[in-house]
């Protein structure tokens, strides 16, 4: 068994492309070897600032010879069939085939033998093909003629060894060899290598190149922490920046630089983002106060003769220029003010079919006011915060740093109330007591400012959930407005496509609802959205050919004694066969309610699917959630609590047995009701209830009389554990009933009463959930 070592050396590869390139090289090389019939022990790839490397251990010297038999047509078959068979087998005539007989007549068999190939030859073909088809997100074209190449950056060298010998591969006119290059400054090379161990050791000791990205990350983090600790400071770690820096430096060296202290009065997030985005620096803070320190950590790609003083000083000058820009933007935004910015939102498009950002702000404000009591917020404050929540989108700071949307709005609002003091704690306003915040007006300003920042949250699974009342109200309103609006115009997620992040918005609504225990009806909220906007308003914004026309092309509406099919194009016109104004209004209202109902039901189904995903890690089954949702409850907190209680009940012996009894009762009823063409939902006759023929019937009647009211009362009180306990009391009498009682008695009246009793079992379960939707 032999080792394959492949290195593709080029000019600097963008850091953001390296991780994917590492995976693509492993996939493409593995596929090429597998297609040739080769197997191996291990395949490992590495990506760095200037090179892609692969090492494959345990490859055979050659592929195995292959013998394949391919059955053909029978003797005497049409010429066309024989020609096609010979062509597919790569043969010239039937003389090259064997003739066999299976008892049904002779037929032809093509015996195809493929000799083994040297693995080196397979590699020599695979490497150029991999290079030509490498899926870089962006690539550049270089050279002309035979040396023309398309790669992420110009290629410089190809190293390709198999078993220590050079593989005769050629990529874009560059012949493979046994040499590599090291660091541009500390060890350019070239260096001759014989295998992977020698290659990695030579790069490290002679070339000053750390091959493995994970090791480069570890070195960067350890050195950055060390230079901060030596200065009595603390590194503000950033995993994304760390990964990017590991893709920029082959021989990383951490240096501590000085930042002008005058910039500490800028919003700390702006300072950190400017360092990270523009300069790739780590920010530093004072471990005692948590405030930003006038320092930064820069990662150099070399060991400087002066210990890095010149590098640090040069980077400090560049950072000052960047922060001067940030100061200019910040000063302009403070002079403009958040309220003035809000007036400019009418010029910012939210979506062509849903109006401007000002339109969205007005909808969110109305919805936030309505939701405020449910989360314990002041409606006035929630509406005020919603009206300002999007205003910073037109600020100069957010234009320069889009990641600061909401954050800058918070700063600007607090500044307008005299509550801005930079560098107090990890952010400017961590401890309000430290800046003398007193009085209800200041507290209201703080609540509004926090809501402006937090209404975008949560933006991912690891993001914090806003729980402050005003923040929760605005965040819920913003996400619900987005969901209902895009549902109304049929811009729903499809498969893996979700361009408007609607799945994330729905999950955000679920997480906020759970975190704040807010109980609101999603259906009522959706209807309230249409009460505010109106279906007509959505249609009129872009005419009758609006996207909503495609989503809901027609509606069957009852008018008088007949059903009429109408389209949205006819939505605001006269109803059929009348010019009466009242009839027209009624027609219009029925059409509107039917359309809203369709959108509402479709969106509620989407929420149910998101809730299943959210609760899956808790072990709550999807069918349990469906069973609870089926009763029409659309309060996410209540549905979740009931689903948890139902799941826990079904996991018990009583729950499993009662489910089996329910199914037996439901199946009998389904069969008998279909056969009789009648429903048995009515109450059993009073005489039967008073004196049933068998003791088991009497016991079941008594148990139902106690359990059903108790379960309904517990559900109404939202004590779902008690509701399940009430149902559990039915297990024994239900089992005894089915063991001893014949439902389909010869006496028609007795049979009907027993079927009605089964219907009461079904109704008892329906007090909690639709047990018919539970699987297993």
pLDDT tens sequence across 758-774: 999 888 888 889 999 99
Distance of CA 476 to the CA centre of its chain: 18
What is the average per-residue pLDDT within 550-560? 50
pLDDT tens sequence across 184-196: 999 888 999 999 9
Q: How confident is the model at residue 460 (pLDDT cuts 50, 70, 90)?
A: confident
| Model pLDDT, residue 692 | 84
Closest by Cα among 387, 638, 642, 623 to 522: 638
More confident residue, 224 or 528: 224
What is the average per-residue pLDDT within 126-132? 94
| Model pLDDT, residue 529 | 84
| Model pLDDT, residue 565 | 53
Look at residue 453 and tell me whether its pLDDT is greater than 50.
yes
Look at residue 437 and tell me whether its pLDDT is greater than 60.
no
What is the average per-residue pLDDT within 533-561? 49
| Model pLDDT, residue 551 | 47
66 backbone dihedrals φ, ψ, rounded to 5°: -120, 135
Distance of CA 39 to the CA centre of its chain: 36
Name the least confident of 255-264, 462-471, 520-529: 520-529
Q: How confident is the model at residue 96 (pLDDT cuts 50, 70, 90)?
A: confident
Look at residue 538 and tell me whether its pLDDT is greater than 60.
no
User: By the 8 A CB rule, do 120 and 165 touch?
Assistant: yes
Tokens of 765: 């379960």
- Dmax (CA) for the chain in angstroms is 106
Distance of CA 31 to the CA centre of its chain: 29
Task: Please list, in sequence order, all residues whose beta carbon lies within 8 angstroms of the beta carbon of residue 720, skipping any fewer than 6 positions away.
Answer: 641, 642, 644, 645, 646, 714, 768
Percentage of residues in the chain having pLDDT higher than 70: 89
pLDDT tens sequence across 161-215: 999 999 999 999 899 999 999 999 998 889 999 999 999 999 999 999 999 999 9
| Model pLDDT, residue 616 | 87
Give the number of residues written for the chain. 776
More confident residue, 489 or 641: 641
| Model pLDDT, residue 431 | 40
Look at residue 435 and tell me whether its pLDDT is greater than 70.
no
| Model pLDDT, residue 102 | 85
Look at residue 434 and tell me whether its pLDDT is greater than 50.
no
Number of other CB atoms surrounding residue 471 within 10 Å: 27
More confident residue, 105 or 255: 255
- Angle subtended at Cα 765 by Cα 761 and Cα 771, rounded to the nearest 5 degrees: 115
- Angle subtended at Cα 461 by Cα 476 and Cα 619, rounded to the nearest 5 degrees: 100
What is the average per-residue pLDDT within 68-85? 89
- Please give the Cα distance from 157 to 166 (Å, whole number): 13
DSSP string, 484-548: HHHHHTT---BTTB-TT-HHHHHHHHHHHHHHHT----HHHHHHHHHHHH-HHHHHHHH-TTSHH
pLDDT tens sequence across 328-369: 999 999 999 999 999 999 999 999 888 899 999 999 999 999
More confident residue, 593 or 452: 452
Question: Within 13 A of 296's CA, how many CA atoms are on the CB side?
Answer: 32
| Model pLDDT, residue 112 | 81
Residue with tokens 């509004």: 448
User: By the 8 A CB rule, do 265 and 223 touch?
Assistant: no
Is the sign of the CA dihedral 475, 476, 481, 483 positive or negative?
Answer: positive
First to last CA, the chain: 52
| Model pLDDT, residue 486 | 92
* Beta-strand relationship, 42-47 and 66-74: unpaired
151 three-class SS: strand
424 backbone dihedrals φ, ψ, rounded to 5°: -100, 105
Average pLDDT over all residues of the chain: 87
User: By the 8 A CB rule, do 98 and 71 touch?
Assistant: no
Closest by Cα among 408, 388, 413 to 396: 408
Torsion of CA 127, 51, 155, 43, to 10 degrees: 0
- Please give the Cα distance from 256 to 316 (Å, whole number): 10
Look at residue 82 and tell me whether its pLDDT is greater than 50.
yes
User: By the 8 A CB rule, do 296 and 454 touch?
Assistant: no
85 three-class SS: helix
- Please give the Cα distance from 200 to 95 (Å, whole number): 56
Closest by Cα among 298, 281, 276, 288 to 233: 288
Residue with tokens 């003791």: 695
Task: Please list, in sequence order, all residues whose beta carbon lies within 8 angstroms of the beta carbon of residue 619, skipping any fewer than 6 positions away.
Answer: 647
Name the least confident of 43-52, 94-103, 131-140, 256-265: 94-103
Tokens of 754: 């027993």
Percentage of residues in the chain having pLDDT higher than 90: 61
Look at residue 386 and tell me whether its pLDDT is greater than 60.
yes
- Please give the Cα distance from 178 to 198 (Å, whole number): 11
What is the average per-residue pLDDT within 436-445? 74
Look at residue 633 and tell me whether its pLDDT is greater than 60.
yes
- Please give the Cα distance from 745 to 321 (Å, whole number): 93
| Model pLDDT, residue 574 | 46
Closest by Cα among 635, 342, 386, 376 to 532: 386
What is the average per-residue pLDDT within 146-152? 79
Closest by Cα among 246, 262, 227 to 46: 246
Return the DSSP state at 395. S
Look at residue 90 and tell me whether its pLDDT is greater than 90.
no
- Please give the Cα distance from 514 to 536 (Å, whole number): 34
Closest by Cα among 260, 253, 298 to 279: 298
Q: Which residues pair with 282 in a beta bridge?
A: 297
Closest by Cα among 770, 367, 376, 366 to 608: 770
Cis bond leading into 458, ω under 30°?
yes
Q: Which residues pair with 151 in a beta bridge?
A: 140
What is the average per-residue pLDDT within 629-657? 90
| Model pLDDT, residue 433 | 43
Q: How confident is the model at residue 423 (pLDDT cuts 50, 70, 90)?
A: very low
């Amino acid at each position: 068994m032999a080792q394959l070592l492949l290195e593709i050396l080029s000019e600097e590869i963008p850091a953001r492309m390296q991780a994917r390139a590492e995976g693509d090289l492993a996939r493409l090389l593995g596929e090429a070897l597998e297609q040739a019939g080769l197997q191996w022990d291990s395949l490992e790839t590495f990506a760095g600032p200037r090179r892609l490397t692969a090492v494959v251990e345990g490859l055979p010297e050659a592929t195995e010879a292959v013998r394949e038999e391919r059955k053909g047509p029978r003797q005497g078959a049409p010429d066309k069939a024989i020609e096609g068979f010979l062509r597919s087998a790569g043969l010239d005539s039937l003389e090259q085939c064997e003739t066999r007989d299976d008892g049904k007549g002779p037929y032809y068999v093509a015996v195809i033998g493929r000799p083994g190939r040297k693995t080196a030859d397979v590699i020599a073909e695979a490497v150029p093909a991999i290079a030509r088809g490498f899926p870089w997100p962006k690539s550049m074209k270089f050279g002309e003629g035979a040396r023309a190449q398309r790669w992420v950056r110009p290629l410089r060298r190809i190293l390709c060894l198999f078993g220590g010998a050079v593989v005769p591969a050629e990529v874009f006119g560059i012949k493979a060899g046994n040499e590599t290059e090291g660091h541009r400054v500390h060890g350019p090379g070239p260096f001759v290598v014989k295998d992977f161990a020698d290659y990695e050791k030579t790069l490290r000791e002679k070339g000053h190149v750390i091959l493995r990205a994970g090791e480069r990350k570890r070195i960067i983090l350890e050195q950055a922490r060390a230079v901060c600790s030596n200065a009595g400071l603390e590194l503000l770690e950033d995993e994304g920046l760390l990964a990017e820096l590991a893709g920029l430096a082959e021989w990383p060296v951490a240096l501590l630089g000085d930042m002008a202290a005058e910039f500490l009065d800028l919003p700390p997030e702006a300072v950190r983002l400017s360092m990270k985005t523009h300069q790739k620096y780590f920010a530093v803070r004072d471990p005692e106060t948590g405030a930003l320190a006038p320092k930064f950590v820069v990662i150099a790609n070399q060991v400087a003769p002066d210990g890095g003083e010149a590098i640090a000083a040069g980077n400090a000058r560049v950072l000052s220029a960047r922060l001067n820009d940030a100061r200019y933007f910040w000063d302009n935004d403070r002079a403009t003010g958040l309220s003035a910015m809000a007036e400019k939102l009418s010029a910012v498009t939210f979506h062509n079919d849903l109006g401007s950002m000002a339109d969205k702000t007005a909808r969110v404000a109305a919805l936030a006011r309505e939701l405020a009591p449910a989360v314990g917020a002041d409606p006035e404050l929630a509406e005020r915060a919603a009206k300002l929540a999007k205003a910073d989108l037109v600020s100069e700071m957010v234009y320069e740093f889009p990641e600061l949307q909401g954050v800058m709005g918070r700063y600007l609002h607090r500044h307008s109330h005299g509550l801005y003091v930079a560098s107090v704690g990890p952010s400017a306003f961590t401890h309000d007591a430290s800046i003398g915040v007193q009085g209800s007006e200041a507290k209201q300003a703080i609540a509004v400012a926090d809501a402006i920042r937090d209404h975008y949250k949560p933006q991912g699974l690891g993001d914090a959930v806003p729980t402050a009342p005003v923040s929760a109200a605005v965040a819920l309103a913003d996400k619900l407005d987005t969901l209902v609006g895009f549902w109304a115009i049929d811009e729903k997620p499809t498969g893996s496509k979700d361009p408007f992040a609607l799945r994330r918005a729905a999950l955000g609504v679920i997480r906020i609802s759970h975190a704040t225990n807010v109980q609101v009806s999603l259906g009522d909220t959706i209807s309230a959205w249409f009460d505010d906007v109106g279906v007509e308003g959505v249609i009129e914004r872009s005419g009758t050919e609006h996207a909503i026309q495609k989503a809901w092309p027609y509606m069957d509406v009852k008018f008088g004694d007949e059903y009429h099919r109408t389209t949205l194009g006819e939505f605001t016109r006269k109803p059929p066969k009348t010019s009466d104004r009242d009839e027209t209004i009624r027609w219009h209202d029925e059409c509107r309610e039917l359309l809203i109902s369709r959108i509402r039901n479709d969106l509620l189904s989407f929420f149910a699917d998101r809730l299943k995903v959210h609760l899956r890690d808790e072990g709550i089954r999807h069918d349990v959630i469906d069973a609870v949702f089926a009763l029409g409850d659309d309060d996410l907190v209540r549905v979740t609590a009931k689903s948890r209680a139902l799941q826990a009940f079904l996991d018990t012996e009583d729950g499993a047995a009662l489910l089996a009894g329910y199914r037996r009762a439901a199946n009998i009823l389904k069969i008998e009701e279909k056969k009789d063409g009648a429903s048995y939902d009515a109450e059993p006759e009073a005489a039967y209830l008073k004196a049933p023929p068998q003791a088991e019937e009497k016991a079941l009647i008594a148990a139902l009389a106690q359990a059903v009211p108790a379960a309904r009362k517990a559900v109404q009180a939202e004590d779902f554990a008690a509701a399940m306990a009430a149902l559990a009391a039915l297990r024994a009498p239900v089992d005894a009933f089915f063991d001893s009682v014949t439902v389909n008695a010869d006496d028609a009246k007795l049979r009907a009463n027993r079927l009605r009793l089964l219907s009461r079992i079904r109704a008892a379960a329906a007090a909690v959930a639709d047990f018919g939707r539970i699987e297993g």
